[in-house]
Chains A and B, each alone.
Chain A
Amino acid sequence: MELTGAEIVTRCLQKEGVEYIFGYPGGAVLHIYDALFQQDAVKHILVRHEQAATHAADGYARATGKPGVVLVTSGPGATNAVTGIATAYMDSIPMVVITGQVPSTVIGSDAFQEVDAVGITRPCVKHNFLVKDVNKIAETMKKAFYVATTGRPGPVVVDIPKDITDPAIKVPYSYPDKITMRSYQPTVKGHSGQIKRAVELLLKAKKPMIYSGGGVVLGNASEELRSFVRNLGYPITTTLMGLGSYPASDEQFMGMLGMHGTYEANMAMHACDVLIAIGARFDDRVTGKIAEFCPDAQIIHIDIDPSSISKTITVDIPIVGDVATVLQEMNHILTTGNKQTKKKDIEAWWKIINGWRAKKCMTYDRNNTEVIKPQAAIEIVHEITKGDAYVTSDVGQHQMWAAQYYGFEKPNRWINSGGLGTMGFGLPAAMGVQLAYPDETVVCITGEGSIQMCIQELSTCLQYGLPIKIIALNNRYLGMVRQWQEFFYKERYSHSYMESLPDFVKLAEAYGHVGIRIEDPADLRSGLEKAFAMKDRLVFVDIVTDQMENVYPMIANGKAHNEMHLSPHCELPQSPERELS
C-alpha cells in the first residue's frame, strides 16, 4: 500500500487506537489536517490555544491511562505547547505531541514560523524525534508511542517537516506490530532478593510508615497497594499525586503528607523507623528539610526509574521495577508462609498516631455565617458528587483545599499539575477527561487567577458540548502568593490582589454557558446543587470566598516535618511547634 506522509501519520494514530487528537492547525501541518479530514476514526478536538491542547491530552491520559495525543503547527504552535509538555513531563504523563516543522529544505534558514522544536522541547520530553524521511514516519510513530507509554511514562515530541507529508509523494506503508530499541529497555520486575529483604525489614518495624505517590496511579497498581497496606496493617500517607490510589475514607489512611499534609502524616513521617516509598520521588514539597527527613528511618524505595532512587534522599533498600509487579511479589510473600505482621507489635505506634489524629488538624471555621469558607465549598462538592467525580484543578490554594477536602476514593480521579504547578491546567484538562468519559461528572476546581490563564477554552467546551462544572473559589487574591506574603513577607501583598475581575457569570453566558455567583454561605449548598443538576450544561460557579483564609497545615520552605503551622481552629496552639513522640 502506498500512502503520503500525512496519510501515514493518521494511519499510525488509528493503529495506536487513538480516540482523540487535540490540536490547532497551521501552515506546517496542513497536509496532516487534510488527511485527518478524510478519515473518521481519530476525532480531532479544536482547542483555542495550543497550551490547552497539551493540557487536554494530558487530562485525557491521566484519567484513562492511555496516551494523550496532540497536533500543533511549527513555530508558535510548538512553543505554545511547551508549557503543557513540561507539565506532562514533570508528572510522567504519557503523551505524543506531533509538531509541524518548516520544510526540511529550509530548516536553519530562519524561515517563517520556524523554531528548533526538538531543541526547545529537549529538556522537557522523555524523548523527541525529527523525521527527515517519509519512509521513517511509521517506525518513528511506533517508537514515540512505545517510549511514551512504557517504563516511567512521559511526553514524546515528533517534529515533522512539511515536505515529509507532501501529498505528491507516496511511499509503501506498513505499521510495525512491535518495536525493540537496543538503547531503551525499561526494567519491569524488581530484584527478588531486594524484595525479600524489604519485606523482612518491614516486618521488623516498630513504627512503620507507607508513603506512596503518583507512580501507583500511573502504574495501575492501586489494587496491589490496597492489598499490601491491608496485609501489613500499617499507616499509609500519599503524595498529592498519589491521592485516590488508596481510599481516603479508609482507617489506615493518614491523609496527604508534605507542605500541606496532615499533622498526623507529617508527624508519623518524622517519627517512623521504617519507611517504604512506593512510586514516589521525594519531591521537595514532600520532604521539607532534607537533613531532617525521617531522621530515624531505614528507607525502602520502589520506583521504575533508577534515577529517582537516592536522588535527594539516600535509601537503604532500592527496588527498581514496576510498582504493580513488585507489590504483587511482596503481597505473595506476605500472604503465604508465616511472614505476617504481629498486630500487637504496632499497637503502640497506632496509639501515638491516633493521638496526633485527635488534634483534628483539618478543622476550619465551619460555622461562619458571614463569609463562605473555601473548604466548605469543596466538602459540599464532594457530597453532591458522592465523592466519585473526576476532579481537575489549577494551581494554588484551591488546589490544596481540593486535595485536602475532596477525599478521593479511586485512582485517576484527581487530576492536577503537581510537579510543574501549571496555572491554566484545570479547564483544558477537564475537557480531556470529559471527552474520555462523557457520562461522568467532571469538576474543575479553580481560582479566579488560574481560570483566566486558559479561559478561552470555554469556547471549545461549547463546540464539543462538554458539561464541565467549573468551581471557582474567588477570593480576589492570588491566594497562595498572598498566604506566603502574609507569613514570610510581613503582609506586604505585592501584586497578589486582582482588580478589575470580569463578571464571570456574564463571561460564561457570553461563551454560551451558564454562570452562577454564590456570595452568601447560606446559598452555598443550594447554589452548588443547582449547578450540578444541570447535567448537560457547562456551569461556571463563581464562589466568593473568604479573602484571608490560609491553607493549613503548612510546613514552611526548608523546615522539617514536625515544624508545621497549624490552623488556629484546630486544638493546638499556633506553631511552629516541635513535638516528638
Chain B
Amino acid sequence: MRHIIAILIENEAGALSRVVGLFSARAYNIESLTVAPTEDPSLSRITIVAIGTDRIIEQITKQLNKLIDVVKLLDLSEGPHIEREMVLIKVKAATMDQREDIKRLADIFRGHIIDVTTSTYTIELTGSGRKVDSFIEALAEHKILETVRSGVSGIARGDKILHI
C-alpha cells in the first residue's frame, strides 16, 4: 500500500542523508520525498511517500523513529489527511489545435499556463499525486518536453497535528 509519512527532523547537516540512507540500506522504496524547514528553523519537515506491505511500513516507521535526528513522525495515511503535489510541465504547443487542446485540458484540471512561447506552454498544476498522474496521462497525445514534480506533501485533517 501507498503511505505518506510525515517526519519532523532536526534541521542539521546530514540529517536528510540519514533518512535517505536508511531507505537504501534496508531496501525500502521511496516514491517521492520533499523536505524544507518549518516555522521553527531548527526543525525540518520531510514528507515521504513509500510503498510497502503493512509489515514493511511498520518497520520503516520504527526505523525512522530510531534515527537520533528524527523528533517525531506521523503516518498520514492512518487517518484522514490532505495531500498536495505541484507539477510544472512544459509541452510542445506550436499549432493552434495543440494550443487550444492544452489550454482546455489545463482548465479542466484547474491548472494554469504560466509561461508561453511560440512553440511551448508551461503549465502549473496542484493536486493529489493521483490528480497529477491523471493530468500527465491526459496530455498523452501531446509532446511533453519536461515534467517537474515537487513530490507529495501532506497534512492531517482536523485537530490532529504533527508538532513538538
Q: Are A182 and B71 in contact (CB under 8 A)?
A: yes
Task: Name the contact of A118 in the complex, choosing from B14, B55, B62, B71 (C-beta under 8 A).
Answer: B14
How far apart sit A127 and B68, CA to CA, in the bound complex (Å)?
7
List A contacts of B62 (CB < 8 A).
Answer: 306-307, 309
Cα–Cα distance between A352 and B14 once the two chains are bound (Å):
55
How does the 8 Å CB contact mask read for B1-39 relative to A, with 1 for contact and 0 for none?
A: 000000001100110011001000100000000000000
How many chain A residues sit at the interface, stated as a range, is: 10 to 19
User: Is A41 interfacial (CB-CB < 8 Å)?
Assistant: no
Does A333 have its Cβ within 8 Å of any Cβ on chain B? no
Closest to A181 in B: B68
Complex CA gap A365/B80 in Å reads 67
A123 at the interface (CB under 8 A from B): yes
Residues in A neighbouring B164, C-beta threshold 8 A: 182
As a 0/1 sequence over residues 61 to 102 of chain B, the CB contacts with chain A under 8 angstroms (1 = contact) are: 011011011110000000000000000000000000000000
Establish whether residues A307 and B17, one from each chain, have CB atoms under 8 Å apart when the complex forms. Answer: no
Please pick, from A119, A130, A147, A311, the residue contacting B59 in the complex, using a CB distance under 8 A. Answer: A311
A184 on the B face (CB < 8 A): yes
- CB-CB nearest in chain B for A125: B68
Is A305's CB within 8 Å of the partner chain B?
yes
Contact A307:B66 (CB < 8 A) given known A123-B21, A183-B10: yes
Given that A183-B10, A183-B69 are known contacts, is A307 also in contact with B59, CB under 8 Å in the complex? yes
* CA A147 to CA B13, docked complex, whole Å: 18
A310 touches B69 (CB 8 A): no
Question: Could you mark each residue 117-140 of chain A with 1 if its beta carbon is under 8 Å from any beta carbon of chain B, else 0?
Answer: 011001100110010000000000
Which A407-461 residues have C-beta < 8 A from chain B? none
**B9 (CB) vs chain A CBs: closest residue:** A183
- Chain A residues within an 8 Å CB radius of B58: 310
Q: How far is the CB of A444 from chain B (nearest CB, A)?
A: 32
Q: Which residue on chain B has the smallest CB distance to residue A151?
A: B66
List chain A residues, Cβ under 8 A from B69.
127, 183
Shortest distance in angstroms between A160's beta carbon and chain B's nearest beta carbon?
15
Nearest opposing residue in chain A for B10, CB measure: A183
Instruction: Determine whether the beta carbon of A183 is less than 8 Å from that of B68.
Output: yes
Complex CA–CA separation, A135 to B48 (angstroms): 35
> A130, B68: Cβ atoms under 8 Å?
no
Tell me if B's interface is mostly helix, strand, loop or mixed: helix
Query: In chain B between 48 and 64, which residues have their CB closer than 8 angstroms to a CB of chain A?
Result: 55, 58-59, 62-63
**Shortest Cβ gap from B64 to chain A (Å):** 9
A118, A183, A306, A314: the one contacting B70 at CB < 8 Å is A183
Interface centre among A181, A183, A309, A310, by most chain B C-beta atoms within 10 angstroms, is: A183
Residue of A nearest to B164 (CB): A182
**Listed residue (A126, A147, A307, A311) with the most chain B CB atoms within 10 angstroms of its CB:** A307
Once bound together, how far apart are the Cα atoms of A184 and B62, in whole Å? Answer: 13
Q: A residues within 8 A CB of B66? A: 305-307
Task: Report chain B residues within 8 Å CB of A311.
Answer: 59
- A118–B68 Cα distance when bound, in Å, is 14
> How extensive is the interface on chain B, given as a class?
20 to 34
Contacts of B17 in A (CB 8 A): 119, 122
Instruction: List, in ascending order, chain B residues with CB within 8 A of A184's CB.
Output: 68
Min Cβ gap B60→A in Å is 10
Report the separation of the CA atoms of residues A314 and B54 in the bound assembly, to the nearest whole angstrom.
Answer: 12
Q: How far is the CA of A182 from the CA of B18 in the complex (A)?
A: 17
Chain A residue at minimum C-beta to C-beta distance from B15: A183
List A residues 167-183 near B (Cβ within 8 Å). Answer: 181-183
- Determine the distance from Cα of A75 to Cα of B10 in the docked complex, in whole angstroms: 27
List A contacts of B18 (CB < 8 A): 122
**Distance (whole angstroms) from the CB of B21 to the closest CB of chain A:** 5
Interfacial chain A residues near B59, Cβ < 8 Å: 307, 311
Bound complex: CA A314 to CA B59 (Å) = 12
Q: Are the CB atoms of A306 and B65 closer together than 8 Å?
A: yes
- Chain A contacts for B63, CB-based, 8 A: 307
Q: Which residues of A contact B9 (CB under 8 A)?
A: 183
* B55–A147 CB distance below 8 A: no
- A309: chain B residues within 8 A (beta carbon): 62
A310 near B55 with CB under 8 A, answer yes
Interface centre among B17, B58, B65, B70 (most CB of A within 10 A): B58
CB < 8 Å neighbour of B13 from A123, A130, A182, A310: A130
The CA-CA distance from A308 to B63 in the complex, in Å, is: 9
Chain B residues, Cβ within 8 Å of A147? 68
Bound form: Cα–Cα A580–B18 in Å: 46
CB neighbours (8 Å) of A314 from chain B are: 55
Chain B residues, Cβ within 8 Å of A307: 59, 62-63, 65-66
Query: How far does the alpha carbon of A506 sit from the alpha carbon of B162 in the complex, in Å?
Result: 67
Is A122 a contact of B10 with CB atoms below 8 Å? no
The CA of A311 and the CA of B14, in the complex, are separated in Å by 26
Contact A126 B68 (CB under 8 A): yes
**Contact indicator B55/A130 (Cβ below 8 Å):** no
How far apart sit A122 and B18, CA to CA, in the bound complex (Å)?
7
CA distance A183 to B62 in the complex (A): 14
Q: Which residue from chain B places its CB closest to the CB of A309 in the assembled complex?
A: B62
Q: How far is the CB of B33 from chain A (nearest CB, A)?
A: 17
Q: Is the CB of A123 within 8 A of B55?
A: no
CB distance from A528 to the nearest CB of B (A): 44
Is A123 within 8 A of B14, CB to CB? Answer: no
**Which residues from A are CB-within-8-Å of B68?**
126-127, 147, 181, 183-184
Known: A122-B18, A306-B66, A311-B59. 9 other contacts (CB 8 A): A122-B14, A127-B69, A130-B13, A182-B71, A182-B164, A183-B68, A183-B70, A183-B71, A310-B55
Q: Which residues of A are in contact with B by a Cβ distance under 8 Å? A: 118-119, 122-123, 126-127, 130, 147, 181-184, 305-307, 309-311, 314
Q: Which residues of B contact A (CB under 8 A)?
A: 9-10, 13-14, 17-18, 21, 25, 55, 58-59, 62-63, 65-66, 68-71, 164
Q: Give the 9 A-B residue pairs with the shortest CB-CB distance, closest first.
A: A307-B62, A127-B68, A183-B71, A123-B25, A184-B68, A306-B62, A307-B66, A307-B63, A122-B21
30 pairs from A and B in contact (CB 8 Å cutoff): A119-B14, A119-B17, A122-B14, A122-B18, A122-B21, A123-B21, A123-B25, A126-B68, A127-B68, A127-B69, A130-B13, A147-B68, A181-B68, A182-B71, A182-B164, A183-B10, A183-B69, A183-B70, A183-B71, A305-B66, A306-B62, A306-B65, A306-B66, A307-B59, A307-B62, A307-B63, A307-B65, A309-B62, A310-B58, A311-B59
